[in-house]
Amino acid sequence: MDYLKFRELPAGQNAIVGIMCYGGYNQEDSVIMNQSSIDRGLFRSLYFRTYMDEEGKKVMGDTSTFEKPTRDTTLRLKHGTYEKLESDGLIAPGTRVTGDDIIIGKTTPIPADSLELGQRTTQHTKIDASKALRSTEYGIVDQVLLTTNSEGAKFVKVRIRSTRIPQMGDKFASRHGQKGTIGITYRTEDMPFSAEGVVPDIIINPHAIPSRMTIGHLVECLLSKLSTLMACEGDATPFTDVTVEAISSELMRHGYQQRGFEVMYNGHTGRKLAAQVFLGPTYYQRLKHMVDDKIHSRARGPLQILTRQPVEGRARDGGLRFGEMERDVMIAHGVAQFLKERLFDVSDA
């Protein structure tokens, strides 16, 4: 912990974790998370992305400069708004930005022999070379660094900060490779609660345990429970003589079930659950795979020139591939018209 500087910049938090089936929204490695805990700040994180650009790059034979492009003198302006730029072409820290906003203004002189497809007038002396925020992103300008590179040309970095609140589809993992995404979030009143009134932050599925044999996950939960009661840190390294039996007997001394099970009540009905539930604190990490960075859909969009099929990838607003296996499923269903629609009408016909 100390060597990795995990106290100063941790990757997660100690969450109260219950291992149980509860409504079916934690099947297949998904987890149920407590929405009230999320509202109080559980796993809330900051996401930073840095955009870089420099002056003096030879674009079409001429050097580029940072400035705020104007419609009167500049051709090929982008779709996003240029209003947030200052006169030097940079954006002020603290400015709120959303997708396609221009964050670094830059222009390149038009070569004298260029015709620019008839758009050019005598006033148009520059071409836009600005940098826009990614279309799917949003946030606040955190820092702007203006300096010079090794060749003495102006060089700028803009760091964008956004607050990411856990939502359905975000990925989490314990320290034992037990990874899962949020399947649903329930408020505290809908979550199960123990006889003491403890409500779990996370509910994982018991089917994730036996075949994977991640015993460390269970031992951590047990030791964390005891450490909480004793108000001390538990040492989980293999170099101590701490055994599961020792932890169990100490838990019993504190008035708990020796293996960490607790009587729990259904949050929807208030009735006692038939089985006791393994409950305790476990360290869970928030992973970088967030649904905001991956969500993608398309009805219509750009096509490849060569094949006239939709382009590929989320960044280019691409299509979703209807692959060999999907085709096999449709053949098995016998839906000939649907197959024709997917493979011809909505692709390259």
Residue pair 258/226 in contact (Cβ under 8 Å)? The answer is no
Residues 242, 245, 248, 249, Cα dihedral to 10°: -100
Residue pair 23/269 in contact (Cβ under 8 Å)? The answer is no
- The residues annotated with a catalytic role in the active site are 29
What distance in Å separates the CA atoms of residue 263 and residue 274, rounded to the nearest whole number? 9
Q: What is the CA radius of gyration of the chain?
A: 28
Count helices and strands (H / E) in the chain: 5, 21
| CA nearest neighbour of 207 among 31, 16, 33, 35 | 31
The dihedral built from the CA positions of residue 186, 18, 30 and 284, taken in this order, carries a sign that is positive
What distance in Å separates the CA atoms of residue 188 and residue 22, rounded to the nearest whole number? 14
What distance in Å separates the CA atoms of residue 169 and residue 185, rounded to the nearest whole number? 11
What distance in Å separates the CA atoms of residue 83 and residue 347, rounded to the nearest whole number? 39
